[in-house]
Amino acid sequence: MGLVIGVDIGGSKVAAGVVDDDGAMIDREWCDTPAATSETVNDAIADLVWKLRERHEVEAVGMGAPGFVAADRSTVLFTPNLPWRAEPLGESMSERLKLPVLVENNANCAAWAEVCYGSARGERNVVVLTIGAGIGGGVIIDGRLSRGQFGIATEIGHMNVVIEGGLRCGCGSRGCWEQYGSGSALVRDAQDFARISPSLALRMLDLAGGDPEKITGPVVTQAARDSDPAAVEIFREAARSIGFGIAKLAAILDPAVFVIGGGVADAGELLRDPVELAYIERLTGRGQRPTARVVLAKLRGDAGIVGAAALARLPH
């Protein structure tokens, strides 16, 4: 197959790119997500694709959606941050674009990209974590993307890690993993720390202009690199939460490698190293079994686009 367009649809941004069969992105477009109605979102997606088609001859489109995608790889059942409910996205966009369209969960797209072209290339059993505002994930078992009976498997951020009295999650439950190991959790804890113990968070506050509310993920990362005691502790706690969750997944899935992607992965070894240590510490039967590698994602922000395009190339 020749060139394919991949689209990564988010709550704040829609990005599209033209991808060749080596996984290289040769052109791209993006826009803010106009999430007022389903029609406005769909119009924005179609506009980006048509802009790219004016410059390139393409054969198919793959779309990564931030929510539940049905087994038909066309219907978006639910997206928490967009107005899609049982939206026939693939069918409607195929009619508008006059091209075959495949729709997949965006974390699954990112996972497939890392297996095809990134840090897990050549591996057949992989777990990819996309850690940003929440925790998304994709699982590859025996070289195949795991989708479950209804297409909505591997919502790993909602794995329960606190049995009773856990923090309330946007999904309606308490104690979900993403309430402790996500970028949002890291920022929340950093802001709380700076309010309660400002004398220990001087560098974070300095970078945030003295306002705890302006502490962001990049601020915490930079402060930790600058040895701010509060930021270092916040990262340590987030890493322990991530490592604990990875250990639980290892007990169930036994992958060869865990890939850490998403915005939190921009912290690099500041995050990866303590995550790996926490994972090994909590791993069932540690010392008596092989351990999966823990690596950082290679494709980062391009993974959703590249993975959506790669999946659109497969027979379906």
Residues 215-270: tens digit of each pLDDT: 999 999 999 999 999 999 999 999 999 999 999 999 999 999 999 998 889 999 99
User: Which residue is it, tokens 């991949």?
Assistant: 6
pLDDT mean over 290-310: 96
Residue 172 pLDDT more than 90?
A: no
Q: Are residues 98 and 141 in the same domain?
A: no
Could you tell me the CA-to-CA distances from 300 to 66, 118, 246, 258, 267 in Å, in that order? 16, 9, 19, 14, 12
Q: What is the pLDDT of residue 212?
A: 97
93 within 8 A of 308, measured Cβ to Cβ: no
Three-class secondary structure of residue 69 per DSSP: strand
Same domain, 165 and 69: no
CA distance readout (Å), 48 to 41, 51, 109, 305: 11, 5, 19, 13
Percentage of the residues of the chain whose pLDDT score is greater than 70:
100
Question: Distance from CA of residue 307 to its chain's centroid?
Answer: 12
Query: Does residue 86 share a domain with residue 131?
Result: no
Taking residues 97-114, report their average pLDDT.
Answer: 96
- At residue 292 the predicted structure's pLDDT band, cuts being 50, 70 and 90, is very high
Q: What is the largest CA-CA distance in the chain?
A: 60
d(CA 46, CA 123): 34
pLDDT for the residue 113: 98
- The overall average pLDDT reported for the chain is 94
At 221 the pLDDT is 94
**Domain contains 41:** yes
**Tally of domains in the chain:** 2
Buried b (16+ CB within 10 A) or exposed e, 10-23: beeebbbbbbeeeb
- Adjacency order of strands within the sheet including 76-78: 68-69, 76-78, 85-87
pLDDT per position as a tens digit, 14-55: 999 999 999 999 999 999 999 779 999 999 999 999 999 999
Contact 69, 105 (CB under 8 A): yes
Same domain, 158 and 214: yes
| Whether the Cβ atoms of residue 269 and residue 239 lie closer than 8 Å to each other | no
Residues 90 and 137 in one domain: no
- For residue 145, tell me if it sits in a domain: yes
Report d(CA 172, CA 53) in Å as an integer.
Answer: 41
Give the sign of the dihedral formed by CA 29, CA 51, CA 101, CA 120: negative
- pLDDT (0 to 100) of residue 8: 96
What sign does the dihedral 159-164-167-171 (CA atoms) show?
positive
The whole-number pLDDT of residue 153 equals: 92
Q: 150 and 229: one domain?
A: yes
Measured distance CA(305)–CA(166) in Å, rounded: 34
The pLDDT of residue 300: 87
**Is this prediction's pTM over 0.85?**
yes
Q: Which CATH number covers residue 143?
A: 3.30.420.40
Whether 92 and 151 map to the same domain: the answer is: no
Query: Distances in Å between the alpha carbon of 109 and those of 99, 184, 186, 264?
Result: 19, 22, 25, 18
For residue 117, tell me if it sits in a domain.
no
Strand order in the sheet with 144-145: 144-145, 135-141, 126-131, 257-261, 293-296
Predicted local distance difference test score (pLDDT) of residue 124: 97
Residue 199: burial class (beta carbons within 10 Å; 0-12, 13-18, 19+): exposed
Mean pLDDT for 282-311 is 94
Helix (H) or strand (E) holding 233: helix 229-253
Determine the average pLDDT of the residues in 134-145: 94
> How far apart, in Å, do the first and last CA atoms of the chain sit?
14
Over residues 58-83, the pLDDT tens digits come to: 999 999 998 899 999 999 999 877 89
pLDDT for 41 equals 95
Residues 6 or more apart in contact with residue 127 via CB below 8 angstroms: 111, 137, 138, 139, 140, 156, 246, 249, 253, 255, 257, 258, 259, 292
| pLDDT above 80 (res 146) | yes
Q: Which domain holds residue 195?
A: 122-297
Q: What is the residue type of 152?
A: I
204 and 290 together in one domain: yes
* Position 16 in a domain: yes
The pLDDT of residue 130 is above 80: yes
One domain for residues 166 and 265: yes
- Residues 272-277: what's their mean pLDDT? 96
